[in-house]
Amino acid sequence: MPVYPLNHEVLASLTATRDPSKPVFMLNLWKFREHALYAPEHASLAGAPCSGREAATERYVDAIRPVMPQQSDRYFMASVAGFVAGPIGEKGEEEKWDLVTIVRYETLQGFVDMVSSRKYIEEVEPHRLAGLEDFRLVAMDMIDL
């Protein structure tokens, strides 16, 4: 399964249609590679060989902290214990995720500015791409019931 790039058109549409004063919660679903796979153009970031888990949870997380907007924080993080319901693929396989994280950003624009920055693109994102076999990123608004 390819690791898809962030869809900046969707981010622009969301930015144009949501209340800019509301925080946004980003749901991350991560499936780790067995071994990190850095693109040739990011070889200088690779360092010693490591697992996908290490590239995503240590190298990526360490690299993203300095570029995260103020008042952003990990809201929730958990390993996946098992699937109780969900689709079964063509080969009889269910979706498998290793880690679920929700990160709260004070504004969607702050998130967009971060992921559009040269530092994020050149020094942070390569660790996520190297470490993940598959992932999903869902922008969410909190609602009160």
pLDDT at residue 88, rounded to an integer: 66
User: If you average pLDDT over residues 108-128, what whole number do you get?
Assistant: 96
What does the mean pLDDT of the chain come to?
A: 92
pLDDT at residue 105, rounded to an integer: 97
Per-residue tokens: 81: 């214990």
User: If you average pLDDT over residues 10-23, what whole number do you get?
Assistant: 94
Contacts of 132 (CB under 8 A, 6+ apart): 3, 30, 31, 32, 33, 52, 56
Separation CA 104–CA 76 (nearest Å): 9
Is residue 89 scored above 70 in pLDDT? no
Separation CA 115–CA 45 (nearest Å): 18
Q: CA 58: distance to chain centroid?
A: 13
User: If you average pLDDT over residues 43-66, what whole number do you get?
Assistant: 96
Work out the pLDDT band at 96, boundaries 50, 70, 90.
confident
Span of 10-24, 59-73, 91-105 with lowest mean pLDDT: 91-105
Domain 8-81+94-140: assigned CATH number:
3.30.70.100
Q: Is the pTM of this model over 0.85?
A: yes
